[in-house]
Amino acid sequence: MRKVLLTLTALTLFAVPVLSASAQPRTIQNEAVPVFSTMDRLDIVEDEIPDEGEYKGSFYYEPSFGNEIRYHLWDKDGVGMTIKIYNENNKQVAIGKTTKTKNQITKSFRPGKYTGFYRYIIVPNDGGSGYQFEFSSRAF
């Protein structure tokens, strides 16, 4: 009888803290986890081609952002568009084209040690206006 009582007491002493600990959920603290991104967002535009027939934009880049720039163009109306990217010296550094059947492109280029603004021009292939598009660029 004493052995049974001692065994039950010992089991109770070990079981109570385990049950009480699992009954109270602990929240995970996210403050200690650093937030970082391996890609710096340079520009995001969701717009339409103006009446002039071409959209003009720009973004700033420096080598500390990363050694490659990736850009994405989504031709929402599927008319076919061309994007050309130039550096401040007016040198074309990248070009991309969508078509009626392939309305999204993602391309990249390496800008070297160039620091400054890049300008881009988006033109629909039929020369029209009012077409919806989305452009984004990131450095990594």
Q: What is the pLDDT of residues 85-101, one digit of tens each?
A: 999 999 999 999 999 99
Q: How far does Cα 51 stand from its chain's mean position? A: 30
Question: Domains of the chain: which residue ranges?
Answer: 40-139
Q: 114 pLDDT band (50/70/90 cuts)?
A: confident
pTM attached to this predicted model? 0.69
Q: What is the pLDDT of residues 33-49, one digit of tens each?
A: 444 444 567 888 889 99
Sign of the alpha-carbon torsion through 108, 121, 41, 45:
negative
From 45, 61, 74, select the one nearest 109 (Cα to Cα): 61
Tell me which fold the domain 40-139 belongs to: Jelly Rolls (2.60.120)
Q: 14 pLDDT band (50/70/90 cuts)?
A: low
- Give me 8's structure tokens: 């039950």
Residue 123's pLDDT is what?
Answer: 96
Q: Render the burial of 26-51: b for 16+ CB within 10 Å, e for the rest.
A: eeeeeeeeeeeeeeeebbeeeeebee
Q: What is the Cα–Cα distance from 59 to 68, expressed in whole angstroms?
A: 14
Q: What is the pLDDT of residues 50-59, one digit of tens each?
A: 998 999 999 9
